A and B are shown apart, each in its own frame.
Chain A
Amino acid sequence: SQTIHQWPATLVQPVGSPLSLECTVEGTSNPNLYWYRQAAGRGLQLLFYSVGIGQISSEVPQNLSASRPQDRQFILSSKKLLLSDSGFYLCAWRRLAGGYNEQFFGPGTRLTVL
């Protein structure tokens, strides 16, 4: 069976500090991978998606970046955090084959920027 992991679960960082959130998927190969952000009481905003190693597409220009160094690893980074980067960050994957467009979400990382 497939599982998706995110860490850390919670993070409190000062403004201007760097960020690295990691997401890994087990039990599948060549998945599409996604990073979403959810502000308090809001819906999900797609930040980045990746269809393969080294292939990153950005949906929203901002001070965040993403990388996919391995097939099942997706990393969200920032060089200098802003207060507005606070939120709940969710990683998700989608099975590439089969045509069934269901996404599977990780448990999320709660980021607070002070």
Chain B
Amino acid sequence: SQQGEEDPQALSIQEGENATMNCSYKTSINNLQWYRQNSGRGLVHLILIRSNEREKHSGRLRVTLDTSKKSSSLLITASRAADTASYFCATDGRYSTLTFGKGTMLLVSP
């Protein structure tokens, strides 16, 4: 079953704009991760935020976590065409498995 659900399903913006993607989950978590997938490729880990953290930054990425609302957001600032990809949130399960959402497809136009 899906634990994380991202929205929007698709997002189209211009270069230089900010992109915000949201993720909601159902059960309590220890941490939440965001991954990126270029078309036809494997997933690449972007950032992990622990349940006791509220915000985390990595370069142009900013992740927030609200455990009371069971939601997280990923903000990409000053987007570039190379940021075009699908973005997934993932929550941890038993035996270090991960449960992924359906993803947000981001298209950044030059």
Binding site for B on A (CB under 8 A): 32, 34, 36, 42-44, 46, 49, 51, 57, 59, 88, 90, 92, 94, 100-108, 110
Of the stretches B13-21, B74-82, B92-100, the one at the interface is B92-100
Chain B: interface residue total (CB-CB under 8 A):
22
B33 touches A102 (CB 8 A): yes
A43 touches B97 (CB 8 A): no
How close is B22's CB to chain A, nearest CB, in angstroms? 15
A101 touches B48 (CB 8 A): yes
Which of A46, A100, A101 has the most B CB atoms < 10 Å from its CB? A101
Give chain B residues whose Cβ lies under 8 Å from the Cβ of A102: 33, 45, 48
CA A32 – CA B94 in complex, angstroms?
Answer: 12
The 4 closest A-B pairs by CB, nearest first: A105-B42, A43-B102, A44-B100, A105-B43
CA A59 – CA B40 in complex, angstroms?
Answer: 24
CA A40 – CA B98 in complex, angstroms?
Answer: 19
CA A94 – CA B98 in complex, angstroms?
Answer: 10
Binding site for A on B (CB under 8 A): 2, 30-31, 33, 40-45, 48, 88, 92, 95-103
CA A42 – CA B104 in complex, angstroms?
Answer: 10
CA A57 – CA B92 in complex, angstroms?
Answer: 16
A57 touches B95 (CB 8 A): yes
Q: Which of A32, A57, A90, A103 contacts B45 (CB 8 A)?
A: A103
Which of B30, B41, B98, B100 has the most A CB atoms < 10 Å from its CB? B98
How close is B47's CB to chain A, nearest CB, in angstroms? 10
B95 touches A49 (CB 8 A): yes
A46 touches B99 (CB 8 A): yes
CA A107 – CA B39 in complex, angstroms?
Answer: 11
B99 touches A106 (CB 8 A): no
